[in-house]
């Protein structure tokens, strides 16, 4: 598909592989993965199935293979290069929904690349596949202005306010903070004040 052409090997090398230009290192990413899995363990949430939407160079896959056992990992990508290199399924999250549910769905650095008409269907598809936790990371207008490294961050994205994403997420999911959300169709295992109000 033409609209995915930019996600070639050069894109992933610049933003994820080159130590001089990457936005996150494997070591930094491992802290995030450890946090998400520790959060699940603390809350007695079973983790047997992970869906990684926009799996990229495989940071989640590598961490899961190294630090966990018995987890069925599924990676999806719109990059033909990454699918070929890592064995992912070629899937456009705005147009695809797995029949299976997953204990953890990771959607890191994906939604900001989708045009407006695709964001709500993508989130609806993710929520429909979620048995429990969803981790979202999306670059927002405030992030670009105040938090992101201007040299390392890809700014060729759809720039939107955080409230835009929160509004769409909240239709299907409940926020539990730090980028973590919980499927609304399941009773949450968290105490009331561990979840965002609203």
d(CA 134, CA 126): 8
Alpha helices in the chain (DSSP H): 9-12, 26-42, 59-67, 80-86, 116-129, 141-142, 162-169
Percent of the chain with pLDDT over 70: 98
| Residue 196 confidence (pLDDT) above 90 | no
pLDDT at 2: 65
Question: Rounded to whole angstroms, what are the CA distances from 155 to 48, 118, 143, 185?
Answer: 35, 19, 11, 35
Could you read off the pLDDT of 113-154 as tens digits, one per residue?
999 999 999 999 999 999 999 999 999 999 999 999 989 999
Question: Rounded to whole angstroms, what are the CA distances from 50 to 25, 33, 70, 113, 135?
Answer: 21, 12, 11, 22, 11
Number of domains in the chain: 1
pLDDT at 198: 55
Helix (H, G, I), strand (E, B) or coil at 51: strand
pTM of the model: 0.95
Residue 23 sits in which domain range? 2-194
| Residue 3 confidence (pLDDT) above 80 | no
Check if the beta carbon of residue 111 is closer than 8 Å to that of residue 165. Answer: yes
d(CA 96, CA 128): 11
The CATH number for 105's domain is 3.40.50.150
């Amino acid at each position: 598909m033409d609209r995915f052409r930019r996600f070639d090997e050069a894109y992933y090398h610049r933003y994820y592989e080159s130590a001089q230009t990457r936005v996150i290192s494997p070591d930094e990413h491992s802290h995030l993965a450890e946090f998400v899995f520790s959060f699940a363990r603390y809350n007695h949430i079973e983790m047997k199935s992970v869906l990684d939407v926009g799996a990229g160079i495989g940071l989640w896959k590598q961490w899961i293979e190294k630090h966990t056992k018995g987890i069925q990992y599924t990676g999806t990508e719109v990059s033909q290069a990454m699918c070929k290199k890592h064995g992912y399924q070629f899937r456009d999250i705005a147009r695809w929904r797995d029949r299976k549910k997953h204990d953890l769905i990771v959607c890191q650095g994906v939604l900001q690349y989708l045009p407006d008409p695709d964001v709500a269907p993508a989130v609806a598809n993710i929520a429909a596949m979620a048995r429990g936790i969803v981790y979202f990371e999306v670059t927002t207008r405030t992030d670009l202005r105040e938090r992101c490294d201007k040299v390392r961050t890809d700014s060729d994205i759809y720039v939107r306010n955080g409230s835009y994403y929160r509004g769409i997420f909240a239709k299907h999911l409940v926020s539990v903070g730090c980028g973590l959300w919980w499927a609304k169709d399941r009773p949450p295992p968290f105490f009331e004040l561990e979840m965002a109000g609203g």
